[in-house]
Amino acid sequence: MSYLLRRLIALPLVLWAAVSLVFFSIHLIPGDPVDMVLGETARPADREALRARWGLDRSVPEQYARYLTGLVRGQLGESYSFRRPVSDLVAERYPATLLLAGSAMAVALLLAIPLGALAALRRNRPIDRASMLVALLGVSVPNFWLGILLMLVFSLWLDWLPVSGFDGPASVVLPAVTLGASLAGILTRMTRSSLLDELGHDYVRTARAKGLGTRATLFKHALRNALIPVVTLVGLQFGALLAGAIITEKVFGWPGIGALLISGVQARDYPVVQGCIAVIVTSYVLVNLVTDLLYSAIHPRVRLGESA
């Protein structure tokens, strides 16, 4: 079976496994969502009406089948707390999350490629050590803590940037740096090691022997090749950024799907929790698939599914 076919089959399987795990976890634990919304003192008639409206009067297998059928049609159910279709809520908030993840990716690339390249070119010198220290801190820092510190310094002490919410381009800066810090650390290390690897190849020596300058050798040859694995990693990490945005959105009051998920978790609004997870997992898997396919297109030496 071709690799592409296997990946395409795996796509709905992953989504099915994720939503099923969440669905059954919700239904296996004790507690009635109607009690949570109406309180335990509500009139039985009101309770029954709400149970019927949400389909909770049916058996669990029947609810599961209805949920999966709805999911295939793009219906994610109705939110308990917002009393609106979850698909509408997700559609309203998803662009903000994509903007945040895209900006975080841009921040990570803008920091990581120059820093990683500089570290490789000046290896074992102070600038290399400083870059690697910054990268280590980037991958180790809890991003919600970094967000709080950035907010404290740049919003409250210096008053340069907005504290929270989504209000113009300036409000993207701090959440994007917060979310992108970890990826910047990973990419800096990757750029450095990949470039060091390329600099050891014969073609670099040949280019230099032919009289090509340092800058031309670096930008026309070595860096171009060194960035292939970095680009792959960027693609694979974009999905992780979408998932990681949940916490950053909470710190900055960012009106994205992560904040919606957290509000769903706090209100025990299970259709919202299920819907957000379905959307994030789908995006995550799709982005990873597209990255894999692009990687094989950019780099024909790699045979999909056969590379180590």
Partner 1 sequence: MSATAGLDRSSRAGLGLLLVIALCGVLAPWIAPYDPGRPDLRHGLEGPSLEHWLGTDVEGRDVASRILFGARVSLSVALAVVVVSVAFGVLVGGIAGLLGGWVDRGISAVIDVLLAFPGILLAIALVAITGPGLGNVILALTLLGWVAFARLVRGEVLVLRGDEFVVAARALGATQRELLLRHLLPNLVGPVTVLATFAAAGAILAEASLSFLGLGVQGLPSWGGMLDHGADVFLLAPHLAIAPGLAILLTVVALNIVGDGLRDRLDPRTAAASGQPGL
Rule CB under 8 A: choose which of 4, 161, 262, 293 binds partner 1.
262
| In the complex, least distance from residue 45 CB atom to partner 1, rounded to whole angstroms | 29
Q: How many residues bind partner 1 (CB under 8 A)?
A: 59
| In the complex, least distance from residue 200 CB atom to partner 1, rounded to whole angstroms | 4
Residue 252 interacts with partner 1 (CB under 8 A): yes or no: no
Rule CB under 8 A: choose which of 240, 293, 302, 304 binds partner 1.
240
Say how many Å lie between the first and final Cα of the chain, rounded: 18
Residue 60 interacts with partner 1 (CB under 8 A): yes or no: no
Rule CB under 8 A: choose which of 43, 124, 158, 303 binds partner 1.
124
Residues in contact with partner 1, shown as a per-residue x/- string from 288 to 307 under the rule CB under 8 A: x-------------------
Residues in contact with partner 1, shown as a per-residue x/- string from 203 to 222 under the rule CB under 8 A: -xx--x-----x--xx---x
Using the structure block, give the residue that is written with the tokens 């950024």: 241
| In the complex, least distance from residue 59 CB atom to partner 1, rounded to whole angstroms | 20
Residue 266 interacts with partner 1 (CB under 8 A): yes or no: yes
Q: Sign (positive/negative) of CA torsion 137, 159, 257, 26?
A: positive
Q: Which is nearer to partner 1, 49 or 228 (CB)?
A: 228
Stretch that binds partner 1, among 10-18, 43-51, 97-105, 290-298 (CB under 8 A): 10-18
Instruction: Give ∠ CA 168-172-174 in degrees, rounded to 5.
Output: 135
Residue 8 interacts with partner 1 (CB under 8 A): yes or no: no
Using the structure block, give the residue that is written with the tokens 């990873």: 288
Interacting residues toward partner 1 by CB under 8 A: 10, 13-14, 17-18, 21-22, 25-26, 29, 120-121, 123-124, 136-137, 139-142, 144-145, 148-149, 152, 156, 193, 196-197, 199-200, 204-205, 208, 214, 217-218, 222, 239-240, 242-244, 246-247, 250-251, 261-262, 265-266, 270, 273, 277, 280-281, 284-285, 288
